[in-house]
Amino acid sequence: MPEGFTLENKTDYGAFKEILKKRLNEKRYYHSLCVADEAKRLAEKYGGDTEKAYLAGLLHDITKNASAEEHLKIFSDFGIIPNEIENGAEKLWHAMSGAAYAEHILGIKDPEIIDAIRYHTTAKAGMSLLAKILYLADFTSADRDYDDVEVIRKYVNESLQKAFVYALQYSIKDLVEQARAVHLDTVAAYNQAVLGGK
């Protein structure tokens, strides 16, 4: 855990930013700052914890630029066993290793923050408000530029749930069009959302 940082003093982000600068390339570092800002904005709008949202946004991609070897070492060190879909999709690894890194190496013990980082790529059924905020902030941060980003940005300012459903639809459609497997957590999140669950 960086010296001088406690969860009681969540506004001391400097130490974490220094770690991010060392671990991430310039583009990914900028993305992390943008996601943190957007997560804080969405938390303010929808009644979430703005400090937790900002911190989760900062750290969500902490292992994004890690090598496959580092991901696998984190998995081994902290008892993470990827399933069949995760084994075949290295793009998902950073969410799993990142959550473990934040908890065990950076000392973040807030389970809501760790869970939000863990599921910011796949989503899952029964996500907390913070987890949904991070998931959508990653979609709508200022640096994002992809088909439909303006649609999701519009929806996220109208209704968090409407934006969440649309983002899941977008992700599933994109994976299907690429003939890639859809994580069962994503399917479960989508089914719960469209069936009227939270």
CATH of the domain at 87: 1.10.3210.10
Is 60 exceeded by the pLDDT of residue 34?
Answer: yes
- Banded pLDDT at 196 (limits 50, 70, 90): confident
Residue 183 lies in a domain: no
Q: How many CB atoms lie within 10 A of CB 14?
A: 11
Query: What pLDDT does 131 receive?
Result: 99
Full domain range(s) for residue 125: 7-144
130-167 burial code (b ≥16 CB/10 A, e <16): bbbbbbbbbbbbeebeeebeeebbebbeeebeebbbbb
- CA distance to 37, 58, 139, 194, per residue, from 31 (Å): 10, 9, 11, 29
147 — pLDDT class (breaks 50, 70, 90)? confident
- Classify residue 34: in a domain, yes or no: yes
Q: Is 116 within the bounds of a domain?
A: yes
DSSP state string for 8-33: GGTT--HHHHHHHHHHS-HHHHHHHH
In the chain, the percentage of residues whose pLDDT exceeds 90 is: 89
Report which residue type is found at 137.
A
Is 139 within a domain? yes
Q: What is the pLDDT of residues 9-27, one digit of tens each?
A: 555 688 899 999 999 999 9
Kindly state whether residue 165 falls inside one of the protein's structural domains: no
Give the tens place of pLDDT for each residue, 167-188.
999 999 999 999 999 999 999 9
What is the count of structural domains for the chain? 1
Position 115 confidence tier, pLDDT thresholds 50, 70, 90: very high
Average pLDDT score over residue span 78-106 = 96
Q: What pLDDT score was predicted for residue 198?
A: 60
Q: Which of 65, 132, 133 is nearest to 101 (CA)?
A: 65
Per-residue pLDDT at 11: 54
Q: Is residue 39 part of a domain?
A: yes
Task: Name the pTM for this structure.
Answer: 0.92
Q: Is the pLDDT of residue 128 over 90?
A: yes
* Mean pLDDT of the 50-54 span: 96
Residue 4 has a pLDDT of 42
167 within domain boundaries: no
pLDDT at 40: 98
Query: What's the mean pLDDT when you consider all of the chain?
Result: 93
* 122: in domain: yes
How many angstroms separate the CA atoms of 142 and 40, rounded?
A: 13
Q: For the stretch 76-112, what's the b/e string if a residue is b when 16 or more beta carbons lie within 10 angstroms of its beta carbon?
A: eeeebebeebbeebeebbbbbbbbbbbbeebebebee
